[in-house]
A and B are shown apart, each in its own frame.
Chain A
Amino acid sequence: MMQALRMAVLMLAVMTVITGLAYPLAITGVAQLIFPHEATGSLIKKGDAVIGSSLIGQYFSKPEYFHPRPSAANAPSLEAGAPPAIGYDPLDSGATNLAPSSKKLIENVTAAVKSNQPDNPGRPVPGDLVTASASGLDPDITPDAAEFQVPRVALARNMSEDQVRAMVAKCTKGRTLGFLGEPRTNVLALNLMLDEAAGK
C-alpha cells in the first residue's frame, strides 16, 4: 500500500512536469514565434495604444456606431438597484442564463426592442439584436442586424446609405469554406472602418 502510494505521488509529480509545465511552456514558445499576433489576443492597435481585440466585442451606444448584441458580461442590471447594463467586460464573460419562460427575459427583450425599433420603424427587429449572447463578448451581429442599423448610422455620419452598406459588406464574412458556421458582421471592424473613412 505505501509502495503504491509512493508510486502515485511520484507519477503525479512526473505527469505535472510533462503536461503542466513542459507542454504549455513549449506551446507558448512556439506560438509566440509562429503566431505572435493570435497568441497575444489578436489585438488591434492605433499607434501604441490598444483599442481592443478583433475577436472580442465592445460596447457601443453612440448613433454613429453600429451597436452590438445585448451582453450579460458584467451586466450590473441583473442585480437589484444597479446602473443600466453595459456588458462586454472580458473579466466576467457569460450569459443571462434566463429561461425561455422567464418574465425577466421578456423584460430584457422588450427593452431591447424599444431601443432598437426607432432605427428602422417599419421592420421587425432581427432576433440577435435583442437577445444576449452566450459569452457576453460576441464580436459579431448578423448581416440583417447590420442592415437594420444602416439608416441610423448613415444619418448620423452624413453619408449615403449605400456608402455605409458597402462598408458593411466589407466587414461581413460568409460561411467558412462555403458551408461552416453562419454569415456574420464584425462590429468593431466595421466601426473602425467608418472612423477611418471619416479621417479619425
Chain B
Amino acid sequence: MTVNGILQIAIFCIAIIALVRPLGGYMTRVFNGDKTFLSPVFRPVERVLYAASGVRPEVEQSWRVYGVAMLLFSLAGSVSLYAIFRLQDILPLNPQGFPALPPELALNTAISFVTNTNWQFYSGESTMSYLSQMIGLTVHNFVSAATGIALAMAIIRGFARRSAKTVGNFWVDLTRCVLYILMPVAIVYALFLIWQGVPQTLAAYVDATTLEGAKQTIAVGPVASQEAIKMLGTNGGGFFNGNSAHPFENPTALSNLIQMISIFSMGAALTNVFGRMVGRERQGWALFGVMGLLFLAGTFIVYPVEAGGNPAIAAMGVDQSVGPGQVGGNMEGKEVRFGIANSSLFTVVTTDTSCGAVNNMHDSLMPLAGMIPLINIQLGEIIFGGVGSGLYGMLMFAIIAVFVAGLMVGRTPEYIGKKLEAREVKMSILAILILPLSILGFTAIATVVPQGIATLTNSGPHGFSEILYAYTSATGNNGSAFAGLGPNMFWQVTMAIAMFMGRFLFIVPMLAVAGSLAAKKIVPPSAGTFPTDNGLFVALLIGVILIVGGLTFFPALALGPVVEHLAMQAGSMF
C-alpha cells in the first residue's frame, strides 16, 4: 500500500459522503412528487408519457398491483430484447454486418439485462450492432435501474405510511426515476466521458495501419451514452468485452474516479431518502454506517493483498516492488493507468453494489483478494448495493436484526415504529434464503455434470471458484465474472434461471413485506423500544449480516479461494 493509494481511497469516500444529503434530498422531492428545478422541463414530458401509455398517475396501487405491473414490464422487456437480438441482422444501424444472436445467447442476454445483472457471454465489439446496443441494452440499463429504485420506494413507503392500503404507483415511480434522476445525470456524465476520450459515433469501425505496418481495426460506436447509464444504474454491462478496463470505456484516472463515485452515489443517497421519508435522517445514517464499515473492511483486504504481488512470479526475477516509476503489485489483468489502488477499490465498489463493471480482471486477483468480491455479492449486495435493490436488501436484514434483538429481550420487535410480526419476518427470511438456494444449488450441479466444467480456463480450486463466482454473480444480479468461464448451452440456460430467481424471487416477498408494513399503525417509541439509529444497532446489524448472510457460504469459500491460497503458500500450482 502507498500513501497516495490511501489518499485516493479517502478522496473517494469523502466524495460519497458529500453526495448523500444533496442527492438524497433531491430524490426525496422527486418521489414525493414535489416541484424541483427540472420540473418546468420534464413535467410536460411526464404528462405526455402518461397519456401515451394510458397511465393514471393519481391512482395508487396495492403491493400486489404494484408487483404485477413490475413483472409485466419486465416480461415485456425480456420479450422485446430477445426479439431485437434475434432480428439484429435485418435491423438497421449494423455497420459491421453482425449476424443475429443464437437463441440461447439471446435468452441469456435478455434476462441478464432485464434483471440488472448484465452478465455477458459475448464480446460486445464482435457481437452487438449499434442498434442492439442502443434500443436494446441502453434502454434496459435505464429501466432496470429505475425498476430497482421504484421497488425501494415501495418498501420505504411501507415504513413511512400508516394504515395504508397502497404503496405508490409503479409507472409513476419508474417514469420519474428515469426523467428526473437518471436521464439528466446521464446526459452530463456522457458528455464528460466523451471529453475524457470515450467515443460516441454511429460510424463504422476504423481501419488503421500500425507503425509496424500491421492492420488494426479499431472498434468504436455510441459508447459514452451507454457507459454513463451503465455505471449510474449499477448495471455494469460493457459496450466492449474489456468493460471498464477498455481504454474506450474508461480512458483516464479521472474518468475512473467518476465511474466509481457514480456506482455508489445512488445507493448511498437512497439511505438518506429512507431516513427523510420515515421522518428521521439518523435512521438512514445508521444504515449508511453499516454499509460504510463493510465497504472499508473489504477495501483494506483487497488492496494490501494485491499490492503484495504474486509470490510465484516474484521468484522469477520480476520486479513487483513499488517505486516512483513503478506501480508494483499483482499487475496480471490490470491496467497501468489505474495501478493497484484504483483497481482494488473498483473491485470492492463494483461488487458491494450490483454493478459488476470491472476495470481489472477478477479471475487474476490473488486468492484472498478474489474472495472479497465473492463475499460482497453473497451477502446480498447490500453494501450500498444495486440502485434500489441495495436498500431493500439491507432493510430485509434490518428486519431480521431487530427480530433477533426482540428475541433476546423478549419483546415484540419494532422497526421505525412498525411492529414486526411473523409475516414480515418469514417473508424477509424467505427472500434472504433465495441466495444460498440458487448459488449453492447450481454450483453443486455444475461441479458434477461434464457440461459444467467443460468451459473453465483454470483448474484446481480456482476452477471451482470460477463456477461459484458465476452463480454468485448471476443470482446476486451483479454481472462481474471470473471471466475465464466460457459459454455453452448448460451455462447460458442455468445462469438465466439463476438471474431470474435472484431478481424476482427476492422482490416478491420484499413487496409483500412492504404491503403488510404499510397497513400497520405507527407505534410511538417508548422506553422499551430498541433504538435503531445508534452504534449498538449498527454492530448488531453487521453481526446479523455476517452470520446469517455470510456463514452459509463459508464451506464453499473454503473449497475455493481459501484452499487456493493455502496451496500457493505451500508452492503448489495448478
Q: How far is the CA of A64 from the CA of B568 in the complex (A)?
A: 39
Among A41, A126, A139, A183, point to the contact of B206 (Cβ < 8 A). A41
Apart from A7-B54, A21-B134, A106-B573, list 5 A-B contacts with CB within 8 A.
A11-B174, A95-B242, A103-B573, A134-B242, A177-B254
Q: How far is the CA of A98 from the CA of B211 in the complex (A)?
A: 30
CB–CB A1/B313 < 8 A: no
B252 contacts chain A at the CB level, 8 A cutoff: yes
Would A180 and B8 count as touching, CB distance under 8 A? yes
Do B319 and A96 touch (CB < 8 A)?
A: no
> Within residues 164 to 206 of chain B, which ones have a CB less than 8 A from any CB in chain A?
171, 174-175, 178, 183, 186-187, 190-191, 194-203, 205-206
Q: A10-B52, A27-B191 are in contact. Are A179 and B8 (CB under 8 A)?
A: yes
**How far is the CB of B14 from the nearest CB of chain A, in Å?**
13
Say if the beta carbon of B37 comes within 8 Å of chain A.
no
* Assembly CA distance A135 to B135 (angstroms): 26
Q: Nearest 3 A-B pairs (CB), nearest first? A: A181-B253, A134-B245, A93-B242
Inter-subunit contact A23/B183 (CB<8 Å): yes
Partner of B483, one of A42, A97, A132, A142: A97
Residue in B closest to A125 when the chains form the complex, CB atoms: B318
Contact of B336 among A52, A113, A133 (CB under 8 A): A133
Knowing A12-B77, A97-B483, A132-B332, the reply to whether A43 touches B54 (Cβ < 8 A) is no
Pick from B187, B211, B331: contact of A191, CB below 8 A: B211
B191 touches which of A31, A113, A177 (Cβ 8 Å): A31
- The closest CB in chain B to the CB of A93 belongs to B242
Given the complex of chains A and B, what is the CA–CA distance between A139 and B363 in angstroms? 22
Contact between B191 and A90, CB atoms less than 8 A apart: no
Residues of B within 8 A of A162 (CB): none
> What is the CB-to-nearest-CB distance from B147 to chain A, in angstroms, rounded to a whole number?
11
A/B interface sample: 16 pairs, CB < 8 A: A39-B194, A51-B209, A51-B211, A95-B245, A96-B333, A97-B361, A97-B483, A101-B312, A101-B573, A127-B318, A131-B330, A134-B361, A137-B247, A182-B339, A184-B337, A191-B211
| Residues A133 and B335 in contact in the complex (CB < 8 Å), given A40-B203, A65-B212 | yes
Q: Is the CB of A19 within 8 A of B138?
A: yes
Once the chains are docked, how many angstroms separate the CA of A65 from the CA of B242? Answer: 26
A181 contact from B77, B220, B339, B360, Cβ within 8 A: B339
Q: Within 8 Å CB of A137, what residues of B?
A: 242, 246-247
Contact with B along A159-183 (1 / 0, CB 8 A): 0000000000000000111011111
Flag B279-298 by CB within 8 Å of A: 1 or 0 each: 00000000000000000000
B336–A128 contact, CB under 8 A?
yes
Q: Decide: A175 and B253 in contact? CB cutoff 8 A.
A: yes
A56 and B218 form a contact (CB under 8 A)? yes
CB distance from B461 to the nearest CB of A (A): 8
Q: Is B55 an interface residue (CB 8 A)?
A: yes
Q: Contact: B212 with A16, CB < 8 Å?
A: no
Q: How many residues on the A side are at the interface (Cβ–Cβ under 8 A)? A: 110
A28–B226 Cα distance when bound, in Å, is: 11
B207 interfacial by beta-carbon distance below 8 Å: yes
Which residue of A7, A99, A125, A138 contacts B364 across the interface (Cβ within 8 Å)?
A99
**Contact residues in B for A73 (Cβ distance below 8 Å):** 242
Q: How far is the CB of A126 from chain B (nearest CB, A)?
A: 5
**Contact with B224, one of A18, A27, A175, A176 (Cβ below 8 angstroms):** A27
B408 within 8 Å of A by Cβ?
no
Of B134, B178, B226, which contacts A15 at CB under 8 A? B178
Is A9 an interface residue when CB atoms closer than 8 A count as contact? yes
Q: How far is the CB of A6 from chain B (nearest CB, A)?
A: 7
Distance to closest chain A CB from B278 (angstroms): 29
- Taking CB atoms, residues of chain A closer than 8 Å to B329 are 127
Contacts of B256 in A (CB 8 A): 180-181
> Are A55 and B462 in contact, with the CB atoms below 8 A?
no
Nearest Cβ on chain A to B451's Cβ, whole angstroms: 20
- Give chain A residues whose Cβ lies under 8 Å from the Cβ of B359: 134
Taking the nearest CB of chain A, how far is it from the CB of B150, in angstroms?
12
Which of A42, A106, A131 has most chain B Cβ within 10 Å? A131
Determine whether A20 belongs to the interface, using a CB cutoff of 8 Å to chain B. yes
A87 to chain B, nearest CB (A): 11
CA distance A93 to B242 in the complex (A): 5
A58 CB-CB contact with B under 8 Å: yes
- Nearest-neighbour CB distance to chain B for A61, whole angstroms, equals 7
Indicate if the CB atoms of A39 and B199 lie closer than 8 Å: yes
B323 within 8 A of A: yes
- Whether the pair A40, B199 counts as a contact (CB closer than 8 A) is yes
Contact A51 B210 (CB under 8 A): yes
Nearest chain B CB to A28 CB, angstrom units: 5
A94 touching B483 by the CB < 8 A rule? yes
Judge whether B143 and A100 touch: CB under 8 Å.
no
A22: nearest chain-B partner, CB-CB: B183
Are A131 and B336 in contact, CB atoms less than 8 angstroms apart?
A: no
- Nearest A-chain residue to B49, judged by Cβ: A14
Interface string of B215-236 (1 = CB under 8 A from A): 0111110101110010000000
Looking across the interface, which residue of chain A has its beta carbon closest to that of B61?
A4
Give Cα A26 to B184, complex, Å. 13
Asked if B218 contacts A142 (CB within 8 A), the reply is no
CB proximity of A8 to chain B, nearest CB, Å:
4
A75 to B327, CA, bound (A): 25
Q: Which of B76-107 contact A (CB under 8 A)?
A: 76-77, 80
Chain B: minimal CB distance from A144 (Å): 4
The 0/1 profile, CB within 8 Å of A marked 1, for residues 316-330 of chain B is 111110011111111
